[in-house]
Structure 1
Amino acid sequence: MKLGGRNAVVRELLPFASTSATVIIGANVEHVGRWGKPPIASFVASLDSSYAKYVARVAQQKAPGDVALLSRMLHELLLTFYQATSQIPQRVVYYRGGASQDQYFGVLQAEMKALRKAFKLLSADCKPRVTFIAVNKRHHLRAFPMNSSGENNVEPGTIIDAGVVDAHGFDFYLYGHKNDQGTTTPCHYTVLHDESALSAEDVHRLTFHLGFTLGRSTRSTSLVAPVYLARLAARRARCYMREVSDGPFKSKFDLAGPHDGIRNCMFFI
């Protein structure tokens, strides 16, 4: 990664990026696949106003919705943000991947509670406004342009927010990338909680622009960079997970973290 973690910067993401201390958090839970192995919870948080440089934390999630574990990880990220910027966060935009629609309510309750606890651990004056957005690519929606000029895929930046979305909620489908082969699949975003009263245009624009900030890609990505990076961090953590024997019929797994010298770098890229 160049420039301390920034390969590319998107200008004018949102007006509040320059007027208030805003943290973009990406969260994901990676299920390892092998029976008996606990899932890996991963979080990344932005460290600059360009939302291109991130720091990650990963841990074994021995129980779903472990508030103590989640709040400790989130507190470490917020503390790192404070040390890097000398600012207490005033706004948090939280993108949560790895959850199906039937899990949204439970995930929202547990992780909002963990966020509130992490804020208190950082400072009694830390009371940022939180926007909580669920991210899902596991759906069956496909769309095609009505007036295509040789290509049948939808152009990047296309938003679908009517007709096939919840009439009583705030959700949308975003085509964030260009697909050279096959049919492009949009990403489904659902705003579960919004204390900043962001407009639909602001959420759409921020989400689309975050697809351009992934340092390992020269083009936009289908997922927002924070969730993409959280997935990469979780998959990298698999390399640190080792099996500890606990008798002939039971195993325990220990997750060793990265060296302290690279802990706050984007080592997982």
Structure 2
Amino acid sequence: MKLGGRNAVVRELLPFASTSATVIIGANVEHVGRWGKPPIASFVASLDSSYAKYVARVAQQKAPGDVELLSRMLHELLLTFYQATSQIPQRVVYYRGGASQDQYFGVLQAEMKALRKAFKLLSADCKPRVTFIAVNKRHHLRAFPMNSSGENNVEPGTIIDTGVVDAHGFDFYLYGHKNDQGTTTPCHYTVLHDESALSAEDVHRLTFHLGFTLGRSTRSTSLVAPVYLARLAARRARCYMREVSDGPFKSKFDLAGPHDGIRNCMFFI
């Protein structure tokens, strides 16, 4: 990564980037699924107003919704943001991947509680407004342009927010990237909690523009960059996981973190 972690930035100013100290957080739980290995929880948080530079924290999740573990990881991210910007966050936009729709309520309850605890650990005055957005690519929706001129895939930036979405909720499908082969699959975003009363246009613009901030890609990505980075961090953490014997028929796994010298860099890219 060049320029301190920024290979490129979006030319157009992103929503509320200049009006308040905003942290973009990406969260994901990687289920390794083999040999009894525990899931890996990963978080990334933005450190700049262009939302291009991130710091990550990873840990074994021994129990689903472990509030103590999650709050400790989130507190470390918020503290790093404060040290980098000298600002207490006023707004948090939290993108959560790796959860199915039937898990949304439990995930929201546990991780909002962890966020509140992390805010208190940072400062008694830290009371940012939180927008919590679930991210899901595991669905069967496919769409095609009605008047295509040789191009059968939907153009990047297309939003579907009527007809096939929840009539009583705030969700949308976003085509964030251009597919060279096969049928493009949109990403499904569901706003589960919003204390900032953001307009649909602001959420759409922010989510689409974040697809251009991934440093390892020169084009937009199908998945919003913070969740993409959280997945990369979790997969990188597999390299730090070692098996510790616990008897002849049972194994334990120990997750060693990265060296302190690279801990706050984008080592997982």
After TM superposition, the score normalised by the length of structure 1 is: 0.99
Match of 2:104 in 1: 104
Identity %: 99
Q: Map residues 47-196 of structure 1 onto 2, 5 A cutoff.
A: 47-196=47-196
- CA distance in 2: counterparts of 1:169 and 1:98, whole angstroms: 20
Query: Do the aligned residues in 1 keep the contact of 2:15 with 2:205 (CA within 8 Å)?
Result: no
Structure 1 residues 6 and 174: alpha-carbon distance in aligned structure 2, compared to 1, 3 A threshold: same
- CA distance in 2: counterparts of 1:171 and 1:45, whole angstroms: 23
Query: Do the aligned residues in 2 keep the contact of 1:104 with 1:134 (CA within 8 Å)?
Result: yes
- Residue aligned with 2:131, SS: strand
Match of 1:254 in 2: 254
After TM superposition, the score normalised by the length of structure 2 is: 0.99
Structure 1, residues 147-174: CA drift from partner, whole Å, max 9, x if none? 0010100000000000000000000000
- CA distance in 1: counterparts of 2:61 and 2:108, whole angstroms: 16
The alpha carbon displacement at 1:36 in A equals 1.2
The alpha carbon displacement at 1:14 in A equals 3.2
- CA distance in 1: counterparts of 2:158 and 2:58, whole angstroms: 33
- CA distance in 2: counterparts of 1:12 and 1:48, whole angstroms: 15
User: 1:200 and 2:200 equivalent?
Assistant: yes
The alpha carbon displacement at 1:266 in A equals 0.1
- Residue aligned with 2:114, SS: helix
Task: Structure 2 unaligned segments of length 5 or more: list them.
Answer: none
The alpha carbon displacement at 1:35 in A equals 3.5
* Greater mean alpha carbon deviation, residues 32-41 or residues 151-160: 32-41
- CA distance in 2: counterparts of 1:183 and 1:64, whole angstroms: 34
Query: Do the aligned residues in 1 keep the contact of 2:177 with 2:220 (CA within 8 Å)?
Result: yes
Task: Structure 1 unaligned segments of length 5 or more: list them.
Answer: none
- CA distance in 1: counterparts of 2:260 and 2:42, whole angstroms: 17
The alpha carbon displacement at 1:12 in A equals 3.2
Structure 1, residues 71-111: CA drift from partner, whole Å, max 9, x if none? 00000000000000000000000000000000000000000
Query: Do the aligned residues in 2 keep the contact of 1:13 with 1:209 (CA within 8 Å)?
Result: no
Structure 1, residues 130-187: CA drift from partner, whole Å, max 9, x if none? 0000000000000000000101000000000000000000000000000000000000
User: 1:3 and 2:9 equivalent?
Assistant: no
- Residue aligned with 1:212, SS: coil
The alpha carbon displacement at 1:15 in A equals 4.1
